[in-house]
Structure 1
């Protein structure tokens, strides 16, 4: 957020910068319908339900139209849904949209000299001040809230609400009556939000940001210290962005938490802590800004790891704005490491193809969203960019992603031209983690051949499918999903300028090695142990195809509530190795050579979220004490390079158009003998040192107390009869706190 002095400086910057002038014009145009009439303010608190907000016919999410409170259209079938549950689902986005519009209008009043916009912003602020206590703090899912069903949504809302009031006051456009109303709302919101500390969570970044904003509004030093510096405050939440920069819950929640962090950091600066002026904090934030760029898929979507939305472009306006604001903050200090990298990444995103816009709780600037794709542009972002983005993008080298190991995340990425392969070999990832250790992702030639499906709706039954091992390209044992546990990366080597790279990960008794060469990938899974176990490995291939080997499909068995049409492949003849599967999609082809004597199944399960259809997948099944599955994957748009493969002992021989290439697993290294010479890949990975907090403000102290032995168990009848009362019972430690609505 900004001061009155900074607003004056920003007006001069806008007058001198063509991009900022065009952004101001865009925001002025977007505000016109708001000035014509006051949008509807929901009469209801938002409600989370399984059927509200989705089409009764096909389950598609209904279109959010801020001007249509009681008629909600399905984008797929065109039917209009009505009813209180749909209205209350609509209310969630409407509350958020209205607060965002208040900030939008206030920014126009403060920076664009638009008194009518300021008046409409005051109307919205006053409307909520009059209604706020009518919304009950009940029917909540995740913490207290009046407008919503979860505390973090109240935080998102109040941040825009207080931002609007702050901008109006800084511009001298906030009257006393409106300010009194804002005071009442902010005070109650602080009580609700402060009553529910979620610990280390992506949502808590927004709760902290909201409390910091309210603290600055009231000049409350104690609340500011709690929101910014306490054990679960804004600064300590930087620990969620691990040493490699990526948030521990994956890219989807990384981007959400990063936007919350930057929002809170703006308010923290007004409270006296400039995160970008502190070298250590600035470095961690810079790593966080760059982390999604390092793991991005070739089509500039983020991989749907853990609980993530699938197929979401990183060129979405909300994400562009996050990097623009981050770049603006980096530029306020001495320009150095990070500034050019973020600028280069932004320039790559602005050159991306037109993107279908998505609905986000923390960014509703474009609602109602048009169904046609929208080219990414810095001159069509929201009011926050008008306040903080750089007047122009700094010059930078083109963005060139490289193979990389993100050690804290345990994500190893092997890039070769437009081909991307990654292996999950790290921590589970908390409550949003998936049982997908040693999952393999493959994206090549514009096709997401082996996707991580992410997660669909949290209130849909298929959530259990997407949170299963079977929905991933990851191994499982005993026919069950992996238990919640961590994997480790044992080796990674991607020599700069080289054609070969590899990674080996271990999870329990399993290890998986993926070797990337100029034309193909080698994929080897090994099971070790003293007992015989059932090993299964799914491959969820995109496109359409089948086995090329002569044979037939017979009914098979694969017990899972989401799986149907299970078949097993019976090859003709006795020599059935290797089995070759070919799939085609979008003018490209993937050939999968299976070099192990394993049972091959084919089945159907839910497709990737949003597809609305079933999809075919394959599964290898093998029982043994020391089992091994070997595969070669070749994506191409031309002639195939791999003509055959054989597996003998620890070696894999691959016949190519240029000759035979022999692969040897040497334990701690991988050796490739090609007609052109021998390549040795090593790179053992050391375990990361134990986590240390960035800032140790108040070291945690374990609770202490007296516990006396009694001769006979108390009756536990609601009285103190039978207890030793010589010492008081204290319930003042944080882990003893309980909240009752």
Structure 2
């Protein structure tokens, strides 16, 4: 066998009776045995686009039924869709299941020599080999054409387990069968992928490379091997240029980070017999570590840019790749870092250790004390900063500020957006994206309004890259700070500069958002909540309002309010609550409505603070609590001429805090307070 060392299979056989790995073997056996009873076969026509297999109303994936190629049900309301694009997208699931099960069947054949697994695997491989030459090249896209699939990306993802399956059963096939599979399927598919290479640093190119490496090593084709590994835009080039110095993949998405990592892992694994030690690359190693530093208290990952909202270190990290535990079984086996064992421990506290990767690549897990420590962190190249309370992770509060690079074609117009957790609960987080075939993806999820930032004149932000002004977690002044800014040269934001400052204490934090434009415009400060509003004060209802702009059509039942000088809003959590104090002035309109969450059938509060100005500062104090609100009163002191205050008095349960946010704040010097905090904004810029 070329694609896996014999010792790994020998060890996996021995692990069948080892209690630490027995569940993984039993799960593999159960899946393979169940699949023997399925009649699924390769289709006569190529697969369509996976992202079209979504309900257009609810933005959720349709329920795949292997026996229903022409009727596809929405799991939310039961509506059935038929015809295109759903029927061809259904075939994507067939390809995906057949290729992954071919590999699992072949692996089971190697582990216990049951000929039923071999027969079914052989059947799949030969059926594809007979059909593949006749598949037309799908030319709907401007590039990246597929044959068995709609796109060369899906072609590559499908081909890797096919090659691995063949490698495991090759010695049982006769000469005619080997020639048919090698010539009509493996070599032909790899050659097709070679012709569809992107020739750039991209997640798709990593899959192209892994597929060509799998076939090249399987068939001893040195040309494919070199192209995939050493040539420009090969494996080494992708790691060197695509992985940022903080360990994140450059496209700025947790999902695409792991999607890319899955391709890189596959490339390393199929190359193991070559003795090149690809897993030793420091940038590959860093890719496992980086997501841990920015995980939320419930171990979900930020859904920044094009990203699946469900991505989590305790479940699925992306569509179309194994769940998180599979990645960290490999990571712990390669690097033996304790943090990866702790992630696995968290996963296996919820379910048995059944990942096939544990059988092949895993190691015995150490006993730990169960604690998991996460701290405030900044990933400078990615432009993500996260401030955290110093509590047990399950009860942690945090705020994440996104300020960095756009992220290419998968980037979102969301500079200086925030995601908020309180007491371990998601309060206002990035929504990521649903399937790309859903209209809401473009009209809502990829618009600035769906993010917690600022829009001008109802238009979404153009691409930009912000900069970090300051990041300080020493608490020498009694608080932590992240301070970032961005400026635009492109219309419709030409001449606009924004700056957002988070001043963090464990009981509450300040959010100070300054905007300056070259001319007067409508400025909308936006925050979208996933929790239920329970109380509000300082708002006088004016009536319904009509909204216009990018994404604004998706705001339901918007109501306008006239604010008092201090507005207070509170939302309930599973235990306790979270609240916001909003200092306002006479120029502010407050708008409350409902907007889509994830999935789109669920809605949450959308809060808009609207001012028409050339320059202004929006300020908010956000606090959270278990039993009683952490902050009972906030008072603004003085005005700086741009809608902001020079300072604030904050009344907590036992103390009065004075916050000084201006250098010219002489009127604050005589105010009595238990504690004084100082962050003069102008001096820090």
- The match for 2:327 is 322
**Aligned equivalent of 1:425, options 400, 403, 410:** 403
Cα deviations across residues 419-473 of structure 1 (Å, max 9, x unaligned)? 0111111111111111111101101124321111111221222112111111111
Alpha-carbon distance in structure 2 between the residues aligned to 1:653 and 1:683: 17
The structure 2 residue matched to 1:405, chosen from 350, 355, 378, is 378
CA distance in 1, matches of 2:263, 2:420: 31
Q: Which is worse superposed, 71-80 or 463-472?
A: 71-80
Whether the aligned pair in 1 keeps the contact of 2:297 and 2:397 (CA below 8 Å) is yes
Judging changes above 3 Å, is the alpha-carbon distance between structure 1 residues 593 and 347 closer, same or farther for their aligned structure 2 residues?
A: same
* Higher deviation after alignment, 615-624 or 1-10: 1-10
Corresponding residue SS for 1:489: strand
Q: Per the alignment, do residues 80 and 409 of structure 1 end up closer, same or farther by CA in structure 2, a change over 3 Å counting? A: same
1:544-583 matches, cutoff 5 A: 544-545=532-533, 547-549=536-538, 551-560=540-549, 561-571=553-563, 576-583=564-571
- Counterpart in 1 of 2:490? none
Quote the Cα distance in structure 2 between the aligned partners of 1:399 and 1:349. Answer: 12
Residue 492 of structure 2 is matched in structure 1 by none
1:542–1:76 Cα change, 3 Å = closer
Q: Structure 2 vs 1, CA of residues 399 and 615 (structure 1 numbering), >3 Å: closer, same or farther?
A: closer
Per the TM alignment, residue 682 of structure 1 is displaced from its structure 2 partner at its CA by 11
| TM-superposition CA deviations, 1:20-52 (whole Å, max 9, x none) | 2321122112111333454232222112398x6
Is residue 350 from structure 1 mapped to residue 348 from structure 2 by the alignment? Answer: yes
Paired position in structure 2 for 1:443:
421
* Structure 1 residue 394, shift from structure 2 partner: 7.3
Q: Call closer, same or farther: CA 1:588–1:45 in 2, change over 3 Å.
A: farther
Q: Who is 1:488 aligned against?
A: 467
1:729 is aligned to none
In structure 2, relative to structure 1, the CA distance for the partners of 1:663 and 1:227 (3 Å cut) is same
Answer yes or no: is 1:652 the counterpart of 2:655: no
- What pairs up with 1:18-97 in 2 under 5 angstroms? 18-48=19-49, 53-54=53-54, 60-78=60-78, 80-83=80-83, 85-97=85-97
- Matched-pair contact (CA < 8 Å) for 1:300–1:349: no
1:469 aligned to 2:470?
Answer: no
Of stretches 226-235 and 672-681 in structure 1, the one that deviates more from structure 2 is 672-681
Partner-residue secondary structure (3-state), 2:33:
helix
Distance 1:632 1:421 in 2: 13
Which 10-residue stretch deviates more, 199-208 or 536-545?
536-545
SS class of match (1:324): helix
TM-score of the aligned structures, taking structure 2 as reference length:
0.87
Contact 1:38 1:120 in 2 (8 A): no
Would the alpha carbon gap of residues 188 and 120 (structure 1) be closer, same or farther in structure 2, given more than 3 Å must change?
same
Q: Could you tell me which of 529, 540, 544 is aligned with 1:541? A: 529
Structure 1 593/680 Cα, relative in aligned 2: closer, same or farther at 3 Å?
closer
Distance 1:273 1:584 in 2: 55
1:642-681 to 2 correspondence within 5 Å?
642-647=631-636, 648=638, 649=640, 650-665=646-661
Q: By how many angstroms is 1:67 displaced?
A: 4.5
The aligned runs of 1:12-411 (5 Å cut-off) are: 13-15=14-16, 17-48=18-49, 53-54=53-54, 60-78=60-78, 80-83=80-83, 85-141=85-141, 142-169=143-170, 172-184=171-183, 185-198=185-198, 199-238=200-239, 239-249=241-251, 250-277=253-280, 281=281, 283-316=282-315, 318-331=323-336, 339-351=337-349, 375-379=350-354, 381-382=355-356, 384-392=357-365, 398-411=371-384
Write the deviation string for residues 598-638 of structure 1: whole angstroms up to 9, x where unpaired: 52332445411314144331111223343111110112231
Asked if structure 2 preserves the Cα contact closer than 8 Å seen for 1:341 and 1:396, the reply is no
Change (3 A) 1:349 1:478: same
For these two proteins, the number of residue pairs brought into alignment is: 640
Change (3 A) 1:25 1:499: farther
- Paired residues of 1:135 and 1:146 also in contact (CA < 8 A): yes
Q: 1:407: how far off? A: 0.7
CA-to-aligned-CA distance 1:176-224 (integer Å, 9 cap, x gap): 3332222121111112211122211112111111011111012122221
> Helix, strand or coil: the match of 2:325?
helix
Contact 1:438/1:474 (8 A) holds in 2: yes
Return the alpha-carbon distance in structure 2 between the equivalents of residues 6 and 497 of structure 1: 54
SS state at 1:18 partner: coil
Which 5+ residue runs of structure 2 have no aligned equivalent? 316-321, 488-496, 641-645
Distance 2:116 2:475 in 1: 58
* SS at 2:180 equivalent: helix
Give, in whole Å, the separation in 1 of the partners of 2:58 and 2:516: 46
Q: What is the CA–CA distance in structure 2 between the aligned matches of 1:663 and 1:311, rounded to whole Å?
A: 38
1:675 and 1:112, CA in 2 relative to 1: closer, same or farther beyond 3 A?
A: farther
**Equivalent residue number for residue 478 of structure 1:** 457
- Quote the Cα distance in structure 2 between the aligned partners of 1:630 and 1:57: 36
Q: Does the Cα contact within 8 Å between 1:514 and 1:521 map onto a contact in 2?
A: yes
Task: Give the secondary-structure state (helix, strand or coil) at the position aligned to 1:107.
Answer: helix
1:57–1:240 Cα change, 3 Å: closer
State the match for 1:620 in structure 2.
609
CA contact (8 A) 1:491 1:683 kept: no
Equivalent residues of 1:425, 1:438 under 8 A apart: yes
Query: After alignment, is 126-135 or 79-88 more displaced?
Result: 79-88
1:550, distance to aligned residue in structure 2 (A): 5.3
Residue in 2 that maps onto 1:358: none
Residue 677 of structure 1 deviates from its aligned partner by: 5.1
Deviation, 1:158, is 0.5
Paired residue for 2:629?
A: 640
1:503 aligns with: 482
CA distance in 1, matches of 2:540, 2:617: 23
Per the TM alignment, residue 563 of structure 1 is displaced from its structure 2 partner at its CA by: 3.0
Residues 193 and 674 of structure 1, relative CA distance in 2, 3 Å threshold: farther
CA distance 1:102–1:674, change in 2 (3 Å)? farther
1:608 aligns with 2:597: yes
Distance in 2, matches of 1:144 and 1:117, equals 33
